[in-house]
Amino acid sequence: MLHVLLTCRATSAGLFLRRQHYMEAAKVPCMAVDGDIVDLSLFNPEETLRKAEAFEETMDYYKMVRKEAGMAW
C-alpha cells in the first residue's frame, strides 16, 4: 500500500516508480491511498475501502501469476 500525500509532491513523487518496480520485479501490485498528514479531510475512508476490496481481487490474480511463473510465493 502506498500513501500518497496530496499536499507534498516531493514525498509522493517516487511512489509510482516504486509501484512500477514492484510489479516488474516481483509481480506485486500496489494500492495507492490518497490522503495527507496535515489535512485529514483529504482521506476518504469509504473510497479507501472500495479500493481495498478491488485490490484483494487484484492480489489473488497476481498470486496466480506468480505461481505460474514459478515464484515461490
The pLDDT score that the predictor gives to residue 69 is 94
Query: What pLDDT, on a 0 to 100 scale, did the predictor assign at position 66?
Result: 95
**pLDDT computed for residue 1 by the predictor:** 87
Cell 509532491 sits at which residue?
A: 9
What's the pLDDT score for residue 7?
A: 85
Range of the domain at 62: 2-68
State phi, psi for 32 to the nearest 5 degrees: -95, 130
Cell of 18: 516504486
Number of domains in the chain: 1
19 in any annotated domain: yes
Residue 73 lies in a domain: no
Residue 55 lies in a domain: yes
pLDDT in tens, the chain (73 residues): 888 888 888 888 889 899 999 999 999 999 999 888 888 888 999 999 999 999 999 999 999 999 999 997 7
User: What integer pLDDT is reported at residue 12 of this predicted model?
Assistant: 84
String of b and e for 17-54 (b: at least 16 CB within 10 Å)?
A: eebeeeeeeebbebbebbbbeeeeeeeeeeebeebeee
33: which residues sit within 8 A by CB, 6+ positions away? 1, 2, 3, 4, 43, 48, 51
